[in-house]
Amino acid sequence: MITIIGAGRVGSAAAFNILRYRISDVVLIDIFEDLAKGEALDMMQTAPALEFDGKIIGTSDYSQMKGSELVIITAGEARKPGMSRLDLMRKNAGIVRSIVREVVKYAPNCKIMMVTNPVDVMTYIAYKESGFERNRVFGMGNILDTLRFRSYIALELGVSREDIRALVIGEHGDSMVPLAEYASVAGIPIMRLLSKEQIEKIINLTITSGAEVIRLKGSTVHAPAAAIAIMADAILRGRNRVMGVSTYLQGEYGFYDVAIGVPVVLGRNGVERILELELLPETRKRLEKSVEVVKKAISELEAS
């Protein structure tokens, strides 16, 4: 069973994807109980069309998550006009801490997937608050960034997105690090197919595309919901997928006491192992900058 906490647009879309792909039963929890119940009822009525016989429950009762193998936290506030980054972090940190305490109480053996932004900082907070082993607490962010990276590579080359393989690491934010040196098309490195200028254009589009969607429609929904389902599938079915996931580092890549996106094997136990890649000097500098950004945000939050 999977529990999703937060029945807003991303949480409910993720729940629907998990049902649509027949990954698991879903408990959808929200402080606005009618919203959670209404979303669950709507999905239940859709289930015959999907030929899905699983359960979808909407509630405000945290005890309903008992027995969950995976708990996905999407609850939190979006940044509002006039709200500083620190204000948003402080607000969401309080929400995440209170939710994690409920998770520990009712689903002590679960894995926690953090979606609430800023996701790397919230993953760090969830890890510290939960007391879980680090493999059981991780954040969604780089998978979404990778979907965007793959899309722009395919668009630039005029090829199927299905044939693109790529990774993004680092912060889920402006300092993210798309790994051009590890991106390929049907096994062909993109660095043999695209100019340096084209690659830089793709990287810039990848970094700014989330903000562009928010500018145009107010929030990102479909892509993050799809990324959540990909991760849920890897965990519930023990598929050992290789992907960029925000995880707490204890010396990997030379970094300590920070949660940030790195390549991992994601499976039944959560982060089965972290993959340490050899990075180009320029890429290494970008990753170091990204870690600095996240560490500074954590320091600001802890000092506030």
Q: Summarize pLDDT for 96-151 with one digit per residue, the tens.
A: 999 999 999 999 999 999 999 899 999 999 999 999 999 999 999 899 899 999 99
CA angle 241, 242, 247 (to 5 degrees): 105
CA 122, 258, 248: angle at the middle one, nearest 5? Answer: 80
Per-position b or e across 174-185, b if 16+ CB within 10 A of its CB:
ebbbbbbbbbbb
Burial group, residue 128, by CB count within 10 angstroms (0-12, 13-18, 19+) = middle
Please state, in angstroms and rounded to a whole number, the distance separating the CA atoms of residues 270 and 35.
29
Q: What is the pLDDT of residues 232-264, one digit of tens each?
A: 999 999 999 999 999 999 999 999 999 999 999
pLDDT for 111 equals 98
Q: What is the mean pLDDT of each run of 10 residues along the chain (304 residues)?
A: 95 94 95 96 88 89 96 86 70 95 97 95 96 96 92 95 94 92 95 93 90 80 92 96 96 96 97 95 94 92 78
Residue 172 falls in the annotated catalytic set: yes
Integer Cα distance of 88 and 300 in angstroms: 12
- Tell the burial category of 66 from Cβ atoms under 10 Å away from its Cβ (0-12, 13-18, 19+): middle
The Cα–Cα gap between 249 and 120 comes to 11
pTM: 0.92
The two tokens of residue 265 are 């094997």
Which candidate in 172, 241, 286, 295 is catalytic? 172
Element (H, E) at 267: strand 256-267
What pLDDT shows up at residue 86? 66
Enumerate domains of the chain plus CATH numbers. Answer: 2-139 (3.40.50.720), 142-299 (3.90.110.10)
